[in-house]
Structure 1
Amino acid sequence: MSRPPLVIPSVSEHTATVIIVHGLGGDGQNWKPVVDMFRGNLPHVKWVLPNAPVRPISAARGQKMPAWYDLSTYDLENSLVEDEANMFESVHALDKIILEEVHSGISESRIVVGGFSQGASMSFLVGLTAGQGRNRWKPGGIAVMGARLPLQSKFASLASAEITEVPIFWGHRQEDAVVKYSHGCRCAEQLKTELHVQNVERDALGSPGLCFVAYEGLAHAISDEELGDLKEFLERTLPAKYHDNSQDAG
C-alpha cells in the first residue's frame, strides 16, 4: 500500500476492530464521516481504513487512481478478465492488518472486514477465501455494499471451509448502474447454491449466513438506510460485552 491506513482508536477499551476497504478512486478518508457517526454506538471498536496504491486503470485508458486491482472494463457483469495477481497482492497487504490486530490480542471473531465496490471484492477475498500461502481467517463478519463476487468462476475453489459460519451483510441498490442489481443477485445466489451459505432474513441480521438487502436508489452509492443496517450489523456481530472463551483454559 502506498500510504498507511487511517486508524481511528476506540473510545473505550479496545475489544474489537472494524476494517473498511474503500472503492475504486477513493481512500480511507472517505469512510471517516461514517466512523464518526458510528463511534458513539461502538465505543469499544478500533477502526482501520486502508488506502489502496495508485495504479493505472485500463478501463480508464490508463488514468492513475487509487485501486486495489486493475479493471479491464467497466462492464463488470460481462468481464472475462480479472486482475487476479494484483487482487491477491492487495489481499496479502490487508492480511497483514488483520494479523497485527490478532497479535495485539484481538480475536479473529472480534474483527469485521467490510467495504464498498472494489473494497467489497477485497473483503470477500480476505475474509472468505484460503490458500495462496495465506492465513485462513474466520472473521466476526463480512459487510459489503455495491458488491460483486470476485473471480466468480473459481471463487468456490478458493473459499475457506468456515464460509458457512461467517455472518455476511450485503447491501445493494436496486438501480445501481455500475454493479448492476441483477449481477449482485446472481453473485449472492452463487454463495448460497455453490457454497451452501444459508439465507438470513433481515430481522436476523448478524447471524451466520448471508443477509442480502435491496435498497431503492439509482446511484452506485450507499444510502442512509443502508448505513443504518450496517451499524446494526456491527452492533450485533461485535457487541460491547462478550465472553472470551480462550481465557478459560488453565
Structure 2
Amino acid sequence: MPSWYDIEALGAEATKATAKAGGIGRSAARVEAMVKKEMEESGLEKKDIVLSGFSQGGAMSYWVGLQEGGYGGVVSMSGCIVRPDEFRLSPEAVDTPVIQCHGTTDPVILPKYAQETVDHLRESGAKDVTLV
C-alpha cells in the first residue's frame, strides 16, 4: 500500500516511534518541493497555505508545517506527531493555527495519540491548537 513512510506496527502494538525516519525525511522533502512549486506557479506565499492530511498525511503536515514554520495553518485528520522525541516546533510556528481531528474508535492511530499530540504541541509552545 502506498504510504508517506514505512511503519513497523499498527494499532495497539504501535508506538509513534515506529515510523521510519528515512521515509519521513524523503517525504518531507517531497512535500516541501510541492509547496515550493505551487508557490512559484500561483504566486501564493507560504502564509497562504494550509497543510492538511489524513493519517500519515496528517503526520507529514505536522512534520513539515510546524518544524519549518511560516504556514497559514495545519490540519490533521486521524494523524499524530510521529517520532516525537525528534520533533521540534519551529519558533516561527508557535502562532500557526492547528486543528487535530480524530474519532474515538480509530483502531490504527489510537485516539490517545491525538491528545498526546495536542499536549506535545502545547508543551512545545504552540499557542493555537484545537482538538476536535
Q: Same fold (TM over 0.5)?
A: yes
Q: Which is greater in Rg?
A: 1
Residue 144 of structure 1 aligns with an amino acid whose one-letter code is: S
Correspondent of 2:119 among 177, 189, 197 = 189
Correspondent of 2:7 among 55, 71, 89 = 71
Q: Secondary structure at the match of 2:102?
A: strand
Residue 90 of structure 1 corresponds to 27
Distance 1:98 1:69 in 2: 19
Identity value in percent? 25
Q: Aligned-pair distance for 1:127? A: 0.7
Q: In 1, are the aligned partners of 2:104 and 2:111 still within 8 Å (CA)?
A: yes
Distance 1:169 1:150 in 2: 16
Q: Secondary structure at the match of 2:52?
A: strand
Residue 99 of structure 2 corresponds to 169
Residue 100 of structure 1 aligns with an amino acid whose one-letter code is: K
Q: Aligned-pair distance for 1:71? A: 1.0
Q: In 2, are the aligned partners of 1:72 and 1:79 still within 8 Å (CA)?
A: no
Residue 131 of structure 2 corresponds to 212
Name the CA shift for 1:143/1:79 in 2 (closer, same or farther; >3 Å). closer
Structure of greater relative contact order (alpha carbons < 8 Å, 6+ residues apart): 2
Structure with the higher strand share, 1 or 2: 1
Q: After the TM superposition, which parts of structure 1 deviate over 2 Å for at least 4 consecutive aligned residues?
A: 75-82
Q: Structure 1 stretches of 5 or more lacking a match?
A: 1-64, 131-136, 199-208, 214-250
